[in-house]
Amino acid sequence: MLNETILKSALPEAIAARVSSLLVKPDAVTAVLDGTGLDGKGRADLEAGAKQALEAVEGVSEARIAVMAERVDRRFIAIGSGKGGVGKSTLTANLAVALKRMGHNVGVVDADIYGPSQPTLLASEKEKPEAVEQTLQPVRGVMGIPMLSMGHLIAPGKAIAWRGPMAAGALTQLVEADWGDADIILMDLPPGTGDVQLTMVQKHKPQGAIIVSTPQDLALIDAARAGQLFETAGVPVIGLVENMAGYACPHCGEVSDPFGQGGVEKIAERLELPFLGRIPLTMAIREASDKGTPPAADDGDAGAAFTAIAAQLSDWLRQGQAA
């Protein structure tokens, strides 16, 4: 006679470990499985595997499978800048890696729709996302970080000539993907303060934002505009980061400041916002980024600045949980 013990023993060990309950009725067997931590494809595979195994048991005419999962309290953090070319995407990728190493379940949305670079930075250029029930399933980048980018959906090198509403619609699909157990999603926003950026922060209101700038005056003016955008949308600014701060000559070791120094810290003080730190202008960061090996993935000097900023973001997130 069929019972729960017999049915559970027929399941593969990985599936049996997720069984919450098994109910035997004359017309069918009903199994409730715990799908916590799985994305849409993982849950579909779990359901199919359980159904196949149970229906192979003699005396089982039909197996009905329900996969349940705990609701994830997901928080979105925007990484923005007032202009392009200030290292926003590099910061985003390295923050994701550093947070992952700290034990956070983190994902990345490459919302920089006109210049997607996260597939390169997180080594996932060849990956293509699948859709399950019309919901995109993130691909996996460095360290298994779930991520989505327009760079995964279009041919490499192809320009995207979309107007604001079309771009915003595409980005919505990325943000509303099946992020599984990732409870922190870093959003690499397009540079600037236009329609796409405003739509993103209003529709998918992040819990906080980090602003990136280089120290020169023109970039600082645009960084201030980015701060005003987040303020208008009611998104708290976690802090400001100064990138490309200081260049050490590889031959003599002398440090120079081609973009100036300290400008971001000064504007943070003026705006009464936290200053999170500086990222140096180094060949090691540039080379590692081009290779898809973020410096924050190890304990070397190149990744130390990113890790320090990620630690402050981690503290801010924990304080928000405790509030």
**Binding-site residues from annotation for ATP:** 82-89
**What's the chain's length in residues?**
323
30: helix, coil or strand? strand
For residue 205 the two structure tokens come to: 């209101």
Answer whether 57's CB lies under 8 Å from 91's CB: no
Which residue numbers belong to the known binding site? Answer: 82-89
Cα separation, 83 vs 223, in Å, equals: 7
Residue entry with tokens 């359901």: 47
Cα separation, 199 vs 178, in Å, equals: 21
Strand 255-256 and strand 275-281: the pairing is unpaired
Q: Which of 263, 250, 252 is nearest to 86 (CA)?
A: 263
Q: Which of 134, 130, 210, 209 is nearest to 176 (CA)?
A: 134
| C-alpha torsion angle, residues 47, 50, 51, 54 (rounded to 10) | -160
Cα separation, 209 vs 200, in Å, equals: 12
Q: Which of 321, 318, 303 is nearest to 101 (CA)?
A: 303
